[in-house]
């Protein structure tokens, strides 16, 4: 069976609908017929300032949300990145294979460092796509289910795999991104040309899975639209309405054309009200389930240890080959 690997950062208390519709929904679906590894990327989370207590809590919250969403730890390995030391080890090797100019072309660094400025951002934030390449290549997956914002990083990953293979010996498989066309990029409700992000400056445009459903409903009702009153899918001219239609379609399966018809002549209020209801119906059982899982933290820790064990075994085998092939003198057995 083909293997898949993907990760999510514990950079907020809650995942949001961009994470869910762009990536996590695929994680759940792809468990069937794939050997799946799902990583909570805590090492990526420290590329920006963070509070240790909060990070630990968010790591457990992330695990609970993944399981509540339908990731089955009996089938898929759910693990915490820092519990598998090979990630840091391979990242260093790949750092030494990456050209500075190549790293500088990664656009996400420009976005993420914009607030504090390039000079103040951490070198870890700058090289995070290289750590991400290591995260992926260690497992030699066939596919990496992600949102559109990760496409450039997947290209870097493939370039580095290719470079290592040709400089030393064929070691890595070139992974393909697995990106859902319709929901590859979900936009911020208040700023519908920007990606919905955990680390956005304001929570007003982010529909969080663990928000109080009343808050989510309110955020949807106050989503930015436009001054027309026509429900029509047109990303260029009507980014706000189109984003709402994308989310509506993804959650209900109702085709966009059908939604356009259903709301013809009714204005945005009805569309927002109905979508709010759909979202509330979705998050209500999810929140309950997440809360139940958080009641037994020892069990969550066990699931994660088991995941780290499975992931660590695969990653250690890859690392052994990598160290040997680059010429590190192995220790006498
Ligand atoms: P951060 O702001 O901390 O980077 P994030 O919201 O971008 O958080 P990540 O943990 O970086 O979330 O990404 C987890 C997964 O969710 C990735 O596969 C990413 O491509 C996907 N993703 C994130 N935001 C969106 C979005 N708005 N639309 C579709 N997919 C998304
Ligand atoms: Mg991100």
Place of tokens 């050997």: 35
Give the H or E element holding residue 93: helix 86-95
Q: Write down the ipTM of this complex.
A: 0.99
Extract the residue ranges of the chain whose pLDDT is less than 70.
Answer: none
Q: Which residues line ligand 1 (CB under 6 A)?
A: 8-9, 11, 18-19, 22-23, 146-147, 149-150, 185-186, 195-199
Question: Is 214 considered catalytic here?
Answer: no
The pLDDT value given to residue 250: 98
Tell whether residue 46 is among the known ligand binding residues: no
Q: Which of 110, 170, 181, 198 is catalytic?
A: 198
- pTM of this prediction? 0.97
Taking the CA of residue 9 as reference, the ligand 1 atom at the shortest distance is 10
Tell whether residue 9 is among the known ligand binding residues: yes
**Residue 295: other Cβ atoms inside 10 A:** 9
**Do 196 and 187 touch, CB atoms closer than 8 A?**
yes
The pLDDT value given to residue 277: 98
Please write the tens of the pLDDT for every residue from 289-304: 999 999 999 999 999 9
Q: What share of the chain is helix, strand, coil (3-state, %, to 5)?
A: 55, 10, 35
d(CA 65, CA 59): 10
Which residue has the CA at smallest separation from atom 19 of ligand 1?
147
Question: Is 173 considered catalytic here?
Answer: no
Q: Tell how far the Cα of 197 is from the centroid of ligand 2, in angstroms.
A: 6
Q: Which of 169, 170, 181, 195 is catalytic?
A: 195
The pLDDT value given to residue 115: 83
The pLDDT value given to residue 18: 98
The pLDDT value given to residue 116: 85
The pLDDT value given to residue 333: 73
Taking the CA of residue 183 as reference, the ligand 1 atom at the shortest distance is 29
Tell whether residue 106 is among the known ligand binding residues: no
């Amino acid at each position: 069976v083909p293997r898949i690997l993907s990760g999510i950062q514990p950079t907020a208390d809650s995942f949001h609908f961009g994470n869910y519709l762009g990536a996590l929904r695929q994680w759940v679906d792809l468990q069937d017929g794939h050997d799946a590894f799902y990583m909570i990327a805590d090492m990526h989370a420290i590329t920006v300032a963070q509070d240790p207590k909060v990070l630990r809590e968010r790591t457990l919250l992330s695990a609970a949300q993944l399981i509540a969403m339908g990731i089955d730890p009996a089938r898929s390995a759910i693990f915490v990145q820092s519990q598998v030391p090979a990630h840091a080890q391979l990242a260093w090797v790949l750092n030494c294979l990456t050209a500075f100019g190549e790293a500088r072309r990664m656009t996400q660094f420009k976005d993420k460092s914009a607030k504090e400025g390039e000079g103040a951002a951490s070198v870890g934030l700058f090289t995070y796509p290289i750590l991400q390449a290591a995260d992926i290549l260690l497992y030699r997956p066939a596919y990496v289910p992600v949102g559109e914002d990760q496409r450039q990083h997947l290209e870097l990953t493939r370039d580095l795999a290719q470079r290592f293979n040709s400089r030393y010996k064929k070691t890595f498989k070139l992974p393909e991104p697995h990106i859902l066309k319709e929901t590859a990029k979900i936009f911020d409700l208040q700023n519908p040309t920007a990606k919905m992000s955990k680390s956005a400056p304001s929570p007003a445009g982010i529909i969080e899975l663990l928000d109080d459903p009343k808050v989510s409903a309110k955020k949807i009702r106050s989503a930015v639209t436009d001054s027309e009153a026509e429900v029509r899918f047109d990303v260029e001219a009507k980014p706000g309405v189109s984003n709402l239609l994308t989310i509506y379609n993804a959650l209900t399966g109702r085709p966009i054309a059908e939604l356009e018809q259903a709301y013809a002549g009714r204005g945005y209020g009805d569309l927002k009200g109905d979508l709010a209801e759909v979202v509330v119906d979705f998050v209500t059982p999810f929140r309950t389930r997440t809360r139940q899982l958080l009641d037994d933290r020892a069990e969550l820790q066990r699931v994660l240890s088991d995941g780290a064990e499975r992931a660590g075994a695969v990653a250690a085998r890859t690392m052994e080959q990598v160290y040997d092939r680059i010429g590190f003198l192995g220790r006498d057995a």
